[in-house]
Chains A and B, each alone.
Chain A
Amino acid sequence: MNPANKRLLRWGAALSALLLLGAACGGDDDSDAPATAAPVTDEAPAPEGLTGSIEVSGSSTVEPITALVAEKFNSAHPGVGISVEGPGTGDGFQRFCAGETDISDASRAIKDSEAEACAEAGVEWVELKVAFDGISVLTSPDNDDVSCLDTGDLYALVGAESEGFQSWSDANGLASELAAAGLGGSGAPYPDAPLVITAPGEESGTFDAFVELALEDITEERGQDEPTRVDYQASANDNVIVDNVGSNPTSFGWVGFAFFAENSSVLKAVEVDGGDGCMAPSIESIADGSYPLSRPLFIYVAVNRLVGNPALGPFVDFYMGDGYSSVAEAGYVALPPDELSATKAAWAGVG
């Protein structure tokens, strides 16, 4: 055998080795059913040998809930393939209304334009409210001067025009300007103390939600482009925000409700006035919507795909049934019983 042939053989051998390695890994992949998933008890007898695949996309905020539900469902029905992605609510609807996904996670209701796209592509859907998320506005427990802020105050302190304000009282002028225009600002005058802000950065869903619920209307009214001031310490790590806000007596920041709830001993949640009086964030006020910075989270199910996909119906049943504890597990506020029954009824109405 000449050297060239041997060489070709060797390359061939290397290639087959790679293929074998791949096959071996594949074997692992198949046999490693998630052995660690929480035990699941089915209240209704599950259809035997359920097969199919379910594709979920949409909000990254809702993703943790749906991913937990999916993992539990998959360990009960290993024959069903599931993927849960979280590129964002808008991206999710784009794929959903193109008929690519079975379920779209959403941290806001579907827009008219998106609903039209769905209608054009023949995608029929049902909207199911699954949970609430609330944003807690924070300061230090030592900050006695601040207890309630309205959206005008929030804009005056962290909105686009607040750039450069080093002290809470620097925002007094802006607040009175807003008050004159009927945009709030009733919390002024603010204390003459350093304004130390630590909050989520632009990449965060909590940032988006805060901007949308607290600032957006006034930002538009004032003709500003930036969603917030940019000269604050942004952190992607909620624990850093909790630490910074808790350790500085005149701090300011915001986090998702779950993080405040876990750290309420070192933080003070500022009450928020959305026009109907000051409200503190709590499971109750977030659940009934009286807390202004709360928003419902949804899943949208493609009804037209129920017939062709035998796994989809049982999955949503499971989501609303045994899997529903995932909402609290993921750190979100579960629906109160009447709202949950309303969601279940909306789902039952589909079948």
Chain B
Amino acid sequence: MGSAVTQEMLRRALEGRRVNIVNPLVALTLLICLLASLAILVVLLWDVVAKSMPVWQERGWSVITNDLSPRPAETGMIQGIFGSVMLTVIVVVLSFPLGVAAAIYLEEYARDTRITRLLVANIRNLAGVPSIVYGLLGLSVFVKLILEGMLGQVSGRTLIAGGLTLSMLVLSIMVITTQEALRAVPLAIREASFGVGATPWQTIRHHVLPVASPAIFTGSVLTLARAFGESAPLLLAGAVLSTFFAAPEGTPITDLVLGEKYTALPIIIYNWSRQPQQEYIALTAAAIVALLVILLVVNTGTILARDALERRNRM
């Protein structure tokens, strides 16, 4: 409060009695931009929620917990939710350690040579590659070459193939966000640690990573949210685009991941949106709401967790 008053006094002293028109105008324009983007979001949300209301009223939880069915009155999205969650788990397990490790190497160990710079430039380019290209890669490498070719599976169009594809997709983004997080750690912290005789690894482990972890955490979850909503690469990497599929009853979860067909929530949204029956308009909206709610819960959880981490660091 005090500083704001001082600032105001200082500003007046410097500007004299001149009336500044530009500044309020810029502020107003920026505010309008903010409101416009918020309005788009609100309209979108309102539209989807309103359209999905009949489904929630008539079907209740069954639209979440039912399996897919060719009858719109009985269909549900549990197979898609299961697929999406498992895909995300695979992505976390694979790309998080790999991405963070690669970023630590690049930021803390690698010397600034031409090769390093080439590597970094390539990783940045990879992050800009359209996701459909990763889908093609997933189909030819994971589905065809590894699962069907080398491991001899009848069909390689399984969750693990989709998970590997999405991991490839987010790996480069994971590296970049972690790099940025590490870069934001003040050099003085490293110098102090080296100054008392710590090794590079001790420095990273006990000083750099703890400071960078909230940012790494946030970046990772935003990256995962992207993987969660991705549909194009999965369509190529074998997700089932269908109003009906079923695994044999009693299939253990490992087989569901490694050997069975799968679908994901964004795929279900896409498929429902192109169905001719009227009921699918509301069903599609309901699936979008489900996707948004899951993402919202995960993101909120992340923000809370990050804040807790930051508070601990300050102590």
Report which A residues bind B (CB closer than 8 A).
2-4, 6-7, 10-11, 14-15, 18-19, 21-23, 25-30, 32-34, 36-37, 51-53, 55, 63-64, 67-68, 70-71, 74, 78-87, 100, 203, 236-239, 330
Contacts and interface: CB of A to CB of B under 8 A. Distances in A.
A2 B240 CA distance: 46
A86 B89 CA distance: 28
Contact of A238 (B248, B276, B305): B276
A90 to B, nearest CB: 15
Given A3-B312, A29-B256, A238-B276, A81 B246 contact: yes
A19 B261 contact: no
Interface residues of B, number: 47
A21 to B, nearest CB: 6
Given A19-B89, A36-B66, A84 B78 contact: no
B72 to A, nearest CB: 11
Contacts of A64: 70, 243
Contacts of A84: 242-245
A239 B280 CA distance: 13
Nearest to B246: A74
A7 B205 CA distance: 11
Contact of B240 (A3, A83, A239): A83
Contacts of B245: 70, 81-85
B276 A55 contact: no
A218 B245 CA distance: 41
Nearest to A78: B249
B184 interface: no
B299 interface: no
Given A7-B213, A29-B79, A237 B256 contact: no
Nearest to A14: B305
B229 interface: no
Contact of A85 (B69, B240, B253, B305): B240
B244 A80 contact: no
A67 B243 contact: yes
Contacts of A71: 69-71, 244, 246
A189 to B, nearest CB: 36
Contact of A25 (B82, B246, B247): B82
A330 B249 CA distance: 26
Contacts of B74: 34, 36-37
Contacts of A67: 70, 242-244
B210 A7 contact: yes
Interface of B: 65-67, 69-71, 74, 78-79, 81-82, 85-86, 88-89, 92-93, 155, 205-206, 209-210, 213, 217, 240-251, 253, 256, 260-261, 274, 276, 278, 305, 309, 312-313
Contacts of A51: 248
A236 B281 CA distance: 12
Nearest to A101: B155
| Nearest 7 A/B pairs, CB to CB | A83-B245, A78-B249, A67-B70, A67-B244, A26-B253, A25-B82, A81-B248
Contacts of B93: 15
Nearest to A65: B70
A71 B72 CA distance: 13
A22 B247 CA distance: 16
15 contacts: A3-B313, A4-B206, A4-B210, A15-B92, A22-B82, A51-B248, A53-B248, A55-B261, A64-B70, A70-B245, A79-B249, A81-B246, A83-B246, A85-B245, A203-B274
Given A30-B253, A81-B251, A237-B278, 10 more contacts: A7-B309, A18-B85, A29-B67, A29-B82, A63-B242, A67-B242, A80-B248, A83-B244, A85-B242, A86-B241
Contacts of A83: 240, 242, 244-246, 261
Contacts of A238: 276
B241 A87 contact: yes
B250 A34 contact: no
A190 B280 CA distance: 39
Nearest to A82: B246
Nearest to B213: A7
Nearest to A6: B312
A11 to B, nearest CB: 8
A26 B309 CA distance: 31
B78 A28 contact: yes
A55 B238 CA distance: 12
B249 to A, nearest CB: 4
A28 B86 CA distance: 13
Contacts of A82: 244-246
A38 B213 CA distance: 54
A63 B86 contact: no
A79 B243 contact: no
